[in-house]
Structure 1
Amino acid sequence: MRDLRRQALESGKTVSRKARSRNISAVSSKVNSAVNSAANSRATSRNRTGHGSDEDEDDLSDGSGTAWSSNSIEDILNGEDVDLPPDAWKSELHTRIEQIVDRKRSSTEGRADSLNAFAHILMARYAKDDVDNNIDELLPSMIRSIKAETSERETVAALRALAVTVITIDDGQIYDSVVEQLKRTISDSESTQAKIGAVHTLGTATFFGGAATEETEDIMTFLLEIVETDGESVNAHDDAGVVVAALEEWGLLATDLDDLELATETAIEAFIDQLQSSDSGVQVAAGENIALLYEKSYTPQEEDEEVSHDEDEPGEEETGKTGPKMIKRYTVYRRQDQLIDTLDELASVSTRKISKKDRKTLHSSFADIRNSVEKPTRGPKYSTALNEETGRSYGAGRMKVRINRNVEVRIDKWWKLQRLNALRRVLQGGFPTQYDENEAVSRILPFTMAKN
């Protein structure tokens, strides 16, 4: 088939509405095909972005273990083989919105397809205005799909679509509209995948949807109870996926609180208990929260503040000569020696009962976590290797996410890692595009100018 755009230019005529419709249908068909393929290829593996290579940062996953490359979704949204203008994805987006909203003319499978395609478009493109204009109809429809639980696939798709919608519209009122239904789904759903999706969506809605500090603390208490009871509080006893989700979202919400002393007292024991879990995902998520709690126990010295030197406090070499001195405000855990012994064991675990991949993850993760527990101002991937020229350690900043040629995000703090992981759980391979265009994303992670 000849390129319709080229044909129109050669003849001096515009492409007919019918021709454009055929091309848009082609895109719709490709999206449906890809979404169905992804849904039928569910895998049980879970990709943690925190300690992985940034080589896979452009993957788009449907949350079931099936990765879509960002190049693939770009082809689906604006492929050369279907000859669409650059903004053709908007037509496809509005088609999907109509299909989601018009429930009387849609089937369960059709809504699941449309919700999945809608979510993937929002991941890859920033479409705040398009979604804002339809949110009064979209939001109730997504909540109905979550509440009805006609099928697991539709429910999970609606939860994913809701999460990416929350980040897209950046509306400070949306939390109130969704919190009760999400908590009911977490507690009452018979689907494990729906529970996990609802936990992640609840965390997203709380963080981005306008929850007050007291409401955030209430949700953290709700999530902590899931951790403390190994999922039993929400009828998911010993379900590692649900516990991991609760740990991850607790960590995200904790980054938004200035004072974590009280929360630390109630949470640290639960996280340490989870280090004994038989699931490596639970262990790593709990360990990262422990590292965050230690990091948050230090704050910068204020201008008029005088403090005596404490051997347990980091020296200038830890805080950086250009930055403020960090002061320990409270004790995170009184049996720290025992905790460090546990972290050492996890950082060097060698049992064959654990897969080679999980052992590698545990070694890498807990070496960093142990380092931060001992020296709380050291963030993830802190390097103690010495620079031959300066004689000083390289320090933090080895973990970086490139946004474009000029901008990169340096993940040198645990709170940054928690937020990055949360954003990539929702936005997946669309994270760089959203960071570039969506203020709701860029404002929570400071960037640095990339060195070319």
Structure 2
Amino acid sequence: MTDLRRRALESGKTVSRKAQSKQSSRASSRADSRVNSRNVSRHGSDEEDGNASDGTTWSINSVDEVLALEDADLPGTASDWQEELSDRIDQILDRKRSNIAGREESLSAYVRILTVKYAAEELHGKSEELVGAFLKSIKAESSEKETVLALKAITAPSETIYDLIDGPLKRTINDSESSVAKNTAIHALGCATFYGGASLEETQEVMDFLLEIVESDGNSVNSGDDSVVVTAALEEWGFLATLLEDMEDTTEAAMEAFVEQLDSSEPSVQIASGENIALLYEKSYTEAEDDDEIESEDDEDPEDESSRDGPKMIKRYEPYRRIDKLRHTLSDLASISSRRLSKKDRKCLHTNFSDILNSVENPTRGPRYQNAVNQETGKRYGSRLTIRIHRTGVMKIDKWWKLHRLQALRRILAGGFVTHYEKNEVIFDSLPYVQADALSVF
């Protein structure tokens, strides 16, 4: 748990090769947490939970809409939902006496309860047996609904969960005839890799697998030009990239793939690619070390907020060689006016790519960065994207790695976000917040 907590808190920033050579290799992360993969795309609604808040525009209102669903349709008391969960577990494990309709009903109830309730105690000692039952449903693919629900039900109860499900999930991604099942399996794989005990080497292997899906437009997993599958691969690649520190060696190939996907006809693919590009630019900067040469204040870029506030940031490498071409493409997307797009899609592209372009030009700036100057402080407002957790805390999303993790937690937990955030230590540690009355955040 300590290794996971340290990695989750520190991995939002990259380190230079120089710094990395000074450090001993980190132990692989292991997570003992309840996580089920909720396939809630930020580009569309989920029929089960009704979550329709859009894209990266996470406001207090959009979060409240999700929270309003948290206890919907659940029994009123703790003993009621715990009893129902116990019954559903028994039904799932008693596969010989079940049929497709019965398994669909049991899995649906199981996913619903575990999404909105933290049930670590109720699952203690049963997790691996349950995973075995879920894998049987996934392998059989008796119905699309049962398969998708079983994929959503997969949890990360121990340090061995990644080893148990890596192969079966990749087979589903490669071989399933259902685009929905492939999409859900990709998100489940990302979740299990992050929270289920994968080493950093295994994490990189999964990222390579996901990048191949992107580079081939889905053809590598028999889903040519399937934007749903490609978007899922992009999103999970970005989520897992927040775990890696030095990405210099992997950036060039990834940037080529993401820049190419900016020409996609699907806004979801374009936005997910753009967010990964912004993350890679952010990771090309690290905090200055003691033996780095620091520019004098007279030489500092007046547009660089990091030169005046917070730690000094140093550019370690160039993420993309054809920066002028990239800026032109991002600028076009930030002002696109094509009538083939809906008004909602145009607005989403404008908002997201204005942010992405700003971060490519100024990599120390995070999402929703405002250039306007506060007349009282004389400083720019900076990143204005914040999420309140009830009335006690505020989460400031001022880095792209934080946004990637927030969106991944939203996909995983949907309406149960706050319940798990408050009770599940591993979830909290992957994206911590501070008290609302604190003088500064993060």
State the TM-score, normalized to the length of structure 1: 0.82
Residue 227 of structure 2: aligned partner = 240
For the residues of structure 2 that align with 1:86 and 1:187, how far apart are their CA atoms? 40
For residue 402 of structure 2, the aligned residue among 405, 416, 424 is 416
Which moves more between the two structures, 39-48 or 128-137? 39-48
Matched, 1:154 2:146: yes
For the residues of structure 2 that align with 1:363 and 1:412, how far apart are their CA atoms? 19
Q: Is the 8 A contact 1:231 1:243 kept in 2?
A: yes
Matched, 1:55 2:50: no
Q: Is the 8 A contact 2:117 2:416 kept in 1?
A: yes
Q: Is the 8 A contact 2:281 2:319 kept in 1?
A: yes
Residue 265 of structure 1: aligned partner = 252
Matched, 1:435 2:432: no
For the residues of structure 2 that align with 1:44 and 1:354, how far apart are their CA atoms? 23
For the residues of structure 2 that align with 1:447 and 1:45, how far apart are their CA atoms? 23
Secondary structure of the structure 1 residue equivalent to 2:395: strand
Residue 9 of structure 2: aligned partner = none
Q: Is the 8 A contact 1:226 1:234 kept in 2?
A: yes
Distance 1:340 1:193, change over 3 A: same
Deviation of 1:77 after TM superposition, in Å, equals 1.9
For residue 342 of structure 2, the aligned residue among 346, 349, 355 is 355
Distance 1:294 1:121, change over 3 A: same
For the residues of structure 1 that align with 2:241 and 2:333, how far apart are their CA atoms? 24
Matched length: 394
Which moves more between the two structures, 288-297 or 312-321? 312-321
For the residues of structure 2 that align with 1:40 and 1:375, how far apart are their CA atoms? 35
Which moves more between the two structures, 39-48 or 149-158? 39-48
Matched, 1:111 2:117: no
Matches within 5 A, 1:85-124: 85-124=77-116
RMSD: 2.4
For the residues of structure 1 that align with 2:416 and 2:50, how far apart are their CA atoms? 22
Deviation of 1:389 after TM superposition, in Å, equals 1.0
Q: Percent identity?
A: 53
Residue 76 of structure 1: aligned partner = 73
Deviation of 1:266 after TM superposition, in Å, equals 1.3
Q: Which runs of 5+ in 1 are unaligned?
A: 1-38, 60-68, 80-84
Distance 1:401 1:86, change over 3 A: same
Matched, 1:325 2:312: yes
For the residues of structure 2 that align with 1:87 and 1:144, how far apart are their CA atoms? 30
One-letter amino acid of the structure 1 residue matched with residue 124 of structure 2? D
Distance 1:52 1:400, change over 3 A: closer
User: In the TM superposition, what whole-angstrom CA distance separates every residue of 1:347-386 from its partner, at most 9, and x where no partner exists?
Assistant: 0001111110000000000000000000000000111111
Matches within 5 A, 1:47-446: 48-59=54-65, 70-79=67-76, 85-162=77-154, 165-166=155-156, 169=157, 171-308=158-295, 317-319=304-306, 321-396=308-383, 398-446=384-432
Secondary structure of the structure 2 residue equivalent to 1:197: helix
Q: Which runs of 5+ in 2 are unaligned?
A: 1-44
Residue 26 of structure 2: aligned partner = none
One-letter amino acid of the structure 1 residue matched with residue 354 of structure 2? A
User: In the TM superposition, what whole-angstrom CA distance separates every residue of 1:76-106 from its partner, at most 9, and x where no partner exists?
Assistant: 2233xxxxx4332111111111111111122
For the residues of structure 1 that align with 2:420 and 2:75, how far apart are their CA atoms? 17
For the residues of structure 2 that align with 1:242 and 1:71, how far apart are their CA atoms? 29
Residue 36 of structure 1: aligned partner = none
Which moves more between the two structures, 379-388 or 45-54? 45-54
Secondary structure of the structure 1 residue equivalent to 2:74: helix
User: In the TM superposition, what whole-angstrom CA distance separates every residue of 1:385-430 from its partner, at most 9, and x where no partner exists?
Assistant: 110112221112x111222211221111000000111111010011
Which protein has greater RCO, CA pairs closer than 8 Å, 6+ apart? 2
For the residues of structure 2 that align with 1:142 and 1:157, how far apart are their CA atoms? 9
Q: Is the 8 A contact 2:51 2:414 kept in 1?
A: no
Rg larger for: 1
Higher share of residues assigned helix: 1
